[in-house]
Amino acid sequence: DVDRVLYSLISLFIIGRVVDLVQVGFDRSKNVMIISEVSDEVNKMIIEKMDRGVTHLAIQGGFERREKEMLMCVIPEKEFHTLKEEVLAID
């Protein structure tokens, strides 16, 4: 019966969303990792424009073995697009 299949799929989707909300909660955040040649400028933008803290990590590239710096920042999911656009404008 097509109706039962449709109702089953809708129920599975809703149950999945409810389980996600119970496990993660309503405050959804993203851990963003940024590797950039202009990390100081990106760091300044995140602190001043986004009003967020930034963690600096020394890393080594796997291909060229070059020393690099990675910025890590936890932001609300709704601010991800803004952060991405700001970083792309700088780098």
Strand partners, 69: 58
CATH code of 39's domain: 3.30.70.120
Token pair 């291909």 in the structure block, residue: 63
Residues spanned by the domain of 65: 27-90
Give the Cα-Cα-Cα angle 61, 62, 66 (nearest 5 degrees): 35
pLDDT at 1: 78
User: Residue 11 carries which side chain, given as an amino acid letter?
Assistant: S
Summarize pLDDT for 47-60 with one digit per residue, the tens.
999 999 999 999 99
User: Residue 12 carries which side chain, given as an amino acid letter?
Assistant: L
Q: SS3 of 26, please?
A: coil
Query: Which of 6-10, 22-26, 69-73 shows the lowest per-residue confidence on average (mean pLDDT)?
Result: 22-26
Summarize pLDDT for 19-69 with one digit per residue, the tens.
877 776 777 788 999 999 999 999 999 999 999 999 999 999 889 899 999
* Residue 33, phi then psi, degrees to nearest 5: -115, 125
Is residue 10, in this structure, part of any structural domain at all? no
User: Residue 5 carries which side chain, given as an amino acid letter?
Assistant: V
Is residue 76, in this structure, part of any structural domain at all? yes
